[in-house]
Structure 1
């Protein structure tokens, strides 16, 4: 039973260790970590880190491992915040993020994997440091797909809100959650934290592979999973998918990148259990939720605002728009970042103040609400193409191109044009020999006069981030300016 009042994640771990000490909390390969062992190791880490002043930052840059989570929990119990950093960062980028975070200590892959060998086991109890809900829980660096990564400071209150939401979404003590996205990603944490907070079991898959994912799902009777769209796509394409017993699944979730209506429909048809899409930002500020299994006629949307979320639309001048209009999505909720670390101006630019003085987070996404209050996303504001003075939404063009024979995926970007200012160019992946010129002609025959593509390039793959977002900046930057 979840406490009524705010309870920190380390305190929830202590509760589970007291109530179900022998129950397995984390599984990875042959490793089994009980709640009692996890809580004791959390204490050992907290004792080790208590030498630093409360409120310090502890950085972790390591592949997925059970001790990664023990380090995180121990840092929190010691009164610190955690900066989870991508383990594949180059030396210069890693040094920059460590320096920016102000971390007092950084744990790498060797320290994490060898935690039990070097961590002192004194048997001492760490000093009690009360955790303020407003205190930083973690400092997550943005992917940097649009520039230098920014440190997003998320408070304990935001994570508590995620645990409360998890209880509503079916997470609980009997949950078995399969984790196959990196632990430094907020996408992962919005599934990991509710599972830990509510006393479930985590099954860690350090490197995503469809065969391994399906085998673990069956072996551990997995009930929950958070995946990004490209993972769903790969699983649906696995020829063995339908031969696996996935009846244990109660809930599957998706976030982080556009999730096509067609793919949602296929998952619903072939994979038991509910399918829910979350729309939101690492910065927080409001969430839309689409329970796809309850609204099969709304699969082209990202759902309705979650309980406690206030989602509105504004124009370029910052004026609120009426229902039915198209504008930038802004939101507020109990789950909101404190701001960007050491970036006061960027923090202010990411906010919108309503006429009654409420603080909202700007998403940078363009969308509109339908008559039923479901939000349809058009595109990222930065990806909007203004060609000859007309707004061209890449998502509209991508839908047309992906409907052409032989096309697997499409990404449309705007490139500079002396004649039009900007003009759209498509990059596609295909499943066999195609004629790019013929595809271009076929697409333009289906598009309006101001939407027509100036070019279409066939590529082996679309560049993506670690969690599956298409890196349109790389496509745009790699394309020569059209004249």
Structure 2
């Protein structure tokens, strides 16, 4: 079916695409607002026409279905328009993290085989030292280079219809854009269609207003972005998160839905003026991507109207869990149960399946699995596990256990688990205890090399505003509360913890920094 097909689309259809749905919204509710950012508003009729212009411009430039473009920019209305228009042309979108180093961006550009590269002024400036190594034509979404700007690039021609199928690639999302080797995760139109369909159960629809403050290069954002537009709602975009601005926008636009990562919830709830904002319009809030502590969930349930859903899963797909925190206040320390149709299990180091209650690596299977890591068959094979029937699962790299009710409790990433003197130490256990200190705002624990123990735990913490407690006093307080094998070797106070744009603490950065400064401990 082409993007301009006139027949009605239903959500019971075996397969439909986001461009088709937006074309239908453009016909049925052309004056309804689709996108809001600052003072700019775009209706569904305008979004449909602009998406056509994008598709036609890509076709004019020689791109065919299966080709790709790369985008590296903060959130913007033009970003959303470009994304939808590219999909309408059958073009794969590779959204890249602006926080990536120039060298990482060059690697991802080459790996994705992008034919065109779209940036904003910030990314353009960051790439100034490697411009001569960028082989793709470059355009600025914010028109910061007028001659090579988005507005000049758009044609007024109509696009040629393109038929999309479920197995065709939708996007390439890179899993390690800030450090390490970037791995391109290929996801299909069929997988994204399932995300749109699932949105109905969470209240997305023509009357929803979604406040989006996480970056569009993240799968975290797309699982909220897609059902909002696919089901005809209104999307309010923030180019950069700020807790006060978020609350102001939520109250102004009567937001009903929002996807936030835990550190954003933490900063919002910590505001002394939180209770002054009218958030009564909220129907459902979501969270994913990083550990979400039970105490914070409880505070949100008490003071922020609407339900709270936590998703656990990977960009690579596989199984996902969901915790309806408002329905299970006694399970806030878990990430919930597997979604319908998702098969999740726990395996040991040898790949043997473990029973409930046993701790091991979490693996998952669902229809929402990546096709592969782009151009990396070895990495793809490492990420897969097959059961005795040959059923394919994705390895999460997370350690956890299922309780007697089928709820999953996560311990840590396998690579973050500390083996000290032959004992397995889970940083999450230590962090939960350290977080109880009344003067600490944020904490994390890493394992560092030790001559005596192989590894030993080291804590990092951020003091609450106005607190003056010394690191030595906090260390003594902590070590008196835990067993001998769990004691911290030292505690380091810092102004902030290094985090990715979606809120994950970058433990590898802390380990590398500690090693460079302190070397191997006794």
TM bracket, shorter-chain basis: over 0.9
Corresponding residue for residue 49 of structure 1: 58
Give the equivalent residue in structure 1 for 2:123.
Answer: none
Q: Spell out the pairing of 1:471-482 with structure 2 (5 A cutoff).
A: 471-479=506-514, 480=518, 481-482=520-521
Q: Deviations over 1:265-322 (max 9, x none)?
A: 0001000000110000111101100010000000000000011110100000111111
Q: Tell me if the contact between 2:397 and 2:414 (Cα under 8 Å) persists in the aligned partners.
A: yes
Cα drift, residue 54 of structure 1: 1.7
Alignment of 1:29-108 (within 5 A): 29-50=38-59, 51-108=62-119
Match of 1:118 in 2: 152
How many Å apart are 1:451 and its aligned residue?
1.1
Could you state the TM-score of these two structures normalised by the residue count of structure 2? 0.90
1:179 corresponding residue in structure 2: 212
Aligned-partner Cα distance in 2 for 1:283–1:462: 26
Per the alignment, residue 11 of structure 2 pairs with: 2
* 1:133 matched residue in structure 2: 166
Question: Aligned with 1:446: secondary structure?
Answer: coil
Match of residue 362, structure 2, among 329, 341, 351:
329
Q: How far, CA to CA, are the matches of 1:478 and 1:397 in structure 2?
A: 21
Which structure 2 residues correspond to residues 196-215 of structure 1 after superposition, within 5 A? 196-215=229-248
Distance 1:41 1:144 in 2: 30
- Residues 400-454 of structure 1: CA deviation (Å, up to 9, x unaligned): 1111231222111111111111111111111211121121111111111211111
3-state DSSP of counterpart to 1:93: helix
Q: Is the 8 A contact 2:100 2:178 kept in 1?
A: no
Q: Moved runs in structure 1, 4+ residues, more than 6 A?
A: none
- What per-residue deviation string (whole Å, max 9, x for no partner) do you get for residues 104-147 of structure 1? 111122631236631344342x1222111111100011135662
Residue 314 of structure 1, aligned match among 336, 344, 347: 347
Cα drift, residue 89 of structure 1: 3.2
Provide the rounded CA distance (Å) in 2 between the counterparts of 1:269 and 1:29.
30
Q: Secondary structure at the match of 1:450?
A: helix
Specify the SS of the correspondent of 1:478.
helix
1:74-105, CA deviations, whole angstroms, 9 ceiling, x for partnerless residues? Answer: 11111111000123433322222111110011
Question: 1:173: Cα distance to partner?
Answer: 1.1
Task: Provide the aligned C-alpha RMSD in A.
Answer: 1.3
The answer as to 2:24 corresponding to 1:21 is no
| Alignment check: 8 A CA contact 1:60 1:85 kept | yes
Q: In structure 2, list runs of 5 or more residues that go unmatched.
A: 1-9, 121-138, 144-148
1:466 partnered with 2:501: yes
**Counterpart Cα distance in 2 of 1:482 and 1:88:** 32
Question: Is the CA contact 2:99–2:177 (under 8 Å) kept in the aligned structure 1?
Answer: no
Q: Is the contact between residue 143 and residue 465 of structure 1 (CA under 8 Å) also seen in structure 2?
A: no
Count residues with an aligned counterpart: 482
Aligned match of 1:440: 475
Structure 1 stretches lacking a partner, 5+ long: none
Corresponding residue for residue 393 of structure 1: 426
